[in-house]
Amino acid sequence: MTYGSPDRQDGTLTQGGYSDSIVVSEHFVLQMPDGIDLASAAPILCAGITTYSPLKHHGVGKGHKVGIIGMGGLGHMGVKLAKALGAEVTVFTRSEAKVEEAKRNGADHVVVSSDQAQMDAVAETFDFMLDTVPVQHDLNPYLATLRYDGTHILVGLMDPIEPAVEGFNLIFKRRVLAGSLIGGIPETQELLKLCAEQNITCDVEMIDIQEINTAFERMEKGDVRYRFVIDMQSLKR
């Protein structure tokens, strides 16, 4: 693996992006478009492509209503990218506090998922739901917001998916529950181009490597909007 695994050549631990230099097959190299801010673009290679790939694969575009579940690192990119693809975007969040934040990121609407009346009001209205929440949560209330033939896409890992999905939520409306993991190199290059053209970046906070422990503690508390990016120049200090 890229990080913390035995190197194939000399058996030392791999350092991935923390290396001063790295030898890699050209098939795995991406070109950063001119004019893109490197720090803001860095998470496009993970949070960006993880949300873009399934939206593209499932054909999300103009005329579609898309729900984004969770307003974090993946969620805020999901909003921007679903908008860039032409969809009408609704953020689902448990927290009233994130309503303004979702709108600032471009969401057309926000549903507070803990408010049953708000959930009932959007029953059977969505074409796609992009679920970025990486902890166990009940999918059934979200499945109920999908129209006939709607698709719920999981990009956050849940093992197992509990509470269990009710079969009727899939069968009666021919709905689909789909998974997706990151994306390939050509698709990532396509995304970088799109982001450069439409001026789409991740919201990041740049830190020096010396601040990594504080940043880790803040991340655990959810105190980051939305990704820390390490300035590797600081490694030499």
List interacting residues with a copy of itself (CB under 8 A). 54, 57, 154-181
Report the residue number, 98 or 175, with the smaller CB distance to a copy of itself: 175
Q: Which is nearer to a copy of itself, 110 or 154 (CB)?
A: 154
59 or 163: whose CB is closer to a copy of itself? Answer: 163
Alpha helices in the chain (DSSP H): 38-41, 47-57, 73-84, 99-104, 116-121, 140-143, 167-171, 185-198, 212-220
CB of 227 to a copy of itself, least distance (A): 21
Using DSSP, state whether 146 is helix, strand or coil: strand
| CB 173, min distance to a copy of itself, A | 8
- Whether cis (ω within 30° of 0) applies to the bond prior to 141 is no
Closer residue to a copy of itself, CB minimum distance, 106 or 134 = 134
Residues 148, 173 contacting (CB under 8 angstroms): yes
Question: Tokens at residue 165, please?
Answer: 């999905």
Rounded to the nearest whole angstrom, what is the least distance from the CB of residue 151 to a copy of itself in the complex? 8
- Rank residues 38 and 164 by Cβ distance to a copy of itself and give the closer one: 164
3-class DSSP state of 106: coil
Minimum CB distance to a copy of itself, residue 113 (Å): 19
The number of angstroms, rounded, from the C-alpha of 161 to the middle of its chain's C-alpha atoms is 19
Shortest distance in whole angstroms from residue 165 CB to a copy of itself? 5
For the CB of residue 84, give the shortest distance to a copy of itself in the complex, in Å: 22
Closest CA to 46 of 231, 228, 211: 228
- Of the pair 69, 102, the CB lying nearest a copy of itself is at 69
Sign of CA dihedral 181, 185, 189, 192: positive
To the nearest whole angstrom, how small is the minimum distance from the Cβ of residue 124 to a copy of itself? 15
Q: What is the DSSP string of 24-90?
A: --GGG--PPPTT--HHHHGGGGTHHHHHHHHHHHTT--TT-EEEEE--SHHHHHHHHHHHHTT-EEE
| Distance between CA atoms of residues 119 and 199, nearest Å | 33
C-alpha to C-alpha distance for 103 and 101, rounded to whole angstroms: 5
Taking the least distance from each CB to a copy of itself, the nearer of 33 and 179 is: 179
